[in-house]
Structure 1
Amino acid sequence: MFPLSHMLKSFVRVGSLKVIDADNKVHVFGGTAPGPDVTMRLTDRSLYHKLFFNPELNAGEAYMDGRMSFESGSTLKDFLTLFSMNRIALGTYPLQKVLRSISRGLKRFQQANKVGKAQANVAHHYDLGNDFYKLFLDKGMQYSCAYFTSENDTLEEAQQNKLRLIASKLQLKPGLKILDIGSGWGDLALYLAAMEDVDVTGVTLSKEQYALSNEKARKAGLSHRVRFELLDYRKLDKKFDRIVSVGMFEHVGVHHYGEFFAKINALMSDDGLMLLHSIGHMSPPGTASPWLRKYIFPGAYSPALSEVFPVVEQNSLWVTDLEFLRLHYAETLRHWHERFEANRAKVAEMYDERFCRMWEFYLISAEMMFRTGSQLVFHMQLSRKRDAAPIVRDYITDLQREYKKLEQKKLSTLKPAEPVPA
């Protein structure tokens, strides 16, 4: 099983990995620290070289195609937990160090998200169909990190907590003009408009999200104050009092950060605020997983904060607040995966078995990166003036409590849904 066996001896330092090769021979690789015990079967000899040269890409493809499977009670989640816990050791293997250095040099091309191409990248993932996403997201279809104030929170409760947290950081006031960049299926914009008499414009590059968001605004009786446009944010030329972006910054690309923050500065009123909700990581700058780029999020990358702060500074923006949500996305992804598995048969009917395996690999590997890897979510509040937000953070907690009291009253009095025309 050479050369893969040579790398695995160096790789597995936590837990143990038993590999049954294509000739039914057993190879055991054990670490010195306790961890998951995984039994994996490889049925394709070509994987010995493929996994050696590009383990992240080829492990995902091998699982999707059924050439890699798990036995003796082991699961894909066990394997991806083991992989995540040993990821640093893999990065120190000489060949992997060289290949990762080359990949970092190609980052500009991997994350080229020019106008036009950005929409194609978004369509690859977000236009799979609303019916698909309804199978595992919360009722509001929020496809971003939830906020768990208790381990007993349901997914719906945690997503509502997230909306409340973001709204509190935006300091809503009657008459404000708000921009939601990457507005998803519209729940955040609708929540803001329900909590306060504000005017919200949401922009998205997904045709599926655009259609459903406007339908939801109409059903809620808020279409006079909430509208969604199928538009790249770079084409906007209006001023806004508040700007929010949730789960979109990961699709911007490092070499477009200057363009992004310059546009935020240009769109924001002098006393405005912006809340950026994004995935990041606590390790030095790197590159996105090649498997994730190829199959799930083309052009995507979660930045190190050292890649964000310099560009914010260069664009004369104040960071007025910064908060880290560390394990919240791991819990969100756990809920998504459980719901996905509960509806797996329906997904297979919509697509096929290979698609199901692809999404299993994505959801579990993403959870592990937030649970045992270097991924996190950050909230960065930005302004053009140092005093645009209060100088102490008490208002964030105070407003969350206020909005929680208002929710039952205001959300229950929205216009009832009307039948959708055939």
Structure 2
Amino acid sequence: MVKGGLLPTEFIELLDYIKDIKLHKHNAIKDINSALNDRDTYKKYDSAWLYVLLHMNNGWRASDFAYKIPRLDLPDKIRSISDFENTNLGLEDARYIVVQLSSKLQSLKHTKNQKTNYFFCSDELIPPLANALIICELRTRLLGTNKHYLIDFMNQRNEMLKGTHDSLFTNFKKNFIFGSLKMNRTFIGLMTDVVKKKTKRNPLEISKFIRNHSDLDTTNTYIDIPKEHVDYIASQLFDKGYFGYTYDLFSKVLLGETSISSDDPLRKSAVIKDIFGDIYKIENLARYINVIEQEDEDLFHYLNGHSENALQEKMLLLNFGQLPAKEANYQCIYGKCIFLDRDCNKCPFAVPHFYALTKIAANMEKRIIDYLEIHENSKYLGEKVRISNLLFSDLIVLSHAKQKFGADVLSAFIKIEYDDLKEQISALPSPYEYITIERG
């Protein structure tokens, strides 16, 4: 057992308590309204709620929570505490808020070791986390002493003091004491035991990944999760930021669906039609689609060639970020690159993470400019082929991201409306005659 960590049942009890939106939203807003009349009554309930929620999925240091959670843009319909008090946040808006946080955290580093902030949020915690983030943003606009970060305990070290702690946990079990170090140990211990129980991998293989979060000795972090709780706890530790055809097909095979029909929405032709409309039937593009769909069939047969247990292990390791590819923000379900000359965004075995959109979004504006320049002025067929392939591959990834996260989330992330981007693409000189049959 990890010294100072929570038992698995205690972790589940805390999770059930801290995700109670009705309770914590009411208490947080009540506390802020009280502070507007008398600052001395303010318990910093909203900051505490957000602070604890973030600890449930992330093993960061206390200082990273306190000084790294950035300000956020809110939907137009939420302009004040009174607006939000009577608003039930929909799942799409909740995802928008959490993905916005995720995208902003990607550029930040941990305070002590300057390594990348890997931010996790399980599906179950998206709604409560979004509510807490919105309340903290609204409070910051009203009475925050720190205008840069959302967690503000209003003391010199920005720590959650006893009065704030007791206010948040007044309706929880007696004598419970929350601590950042305790939650770090719990997070790492649970993750280690999930890997041990559900895969054939050595749990210590996750230590490099976890050490981006913590200085804890991962060789001494172990929690024995009862069998009946393993799957549920594992789902709370997963990173659900992966998307795309390969990831969706992987999930489909795991559910026991053993065929791909011609009208299956997972097929890339459906994605391509979403981008280009019926014009996708142009002969050369149709041949290209046939080639990549043959690769999709090969991927399908590869997945079906594994046992259910082997697939579950691969999916778990993928969601834990333990199947890295040769490019950042991709995972390789094959395990070892077999297409050395191919970019990950054109490989059937590579699964993009939401963070991969950062590079695509940053490149898209330049890609369109280069595309126009090359197609209008270059005399070299090879240049036109290359830029057409790059543009086409990026658009497929963006369209898959739209399917997974929604058009609003994607538009906010790539800094342009998705439909406007499609219009820009449709106005370009036709790429179809230059898209190659080979995908390397």
Higher strand share: 1
Higher helix share: 2
For the pair shown, which has the larger CA radius of gyration, 1 or 2? 2
- Structure 1 length-normalised TM: 0.30
- Structure 2 length-normalised TM: 0.29
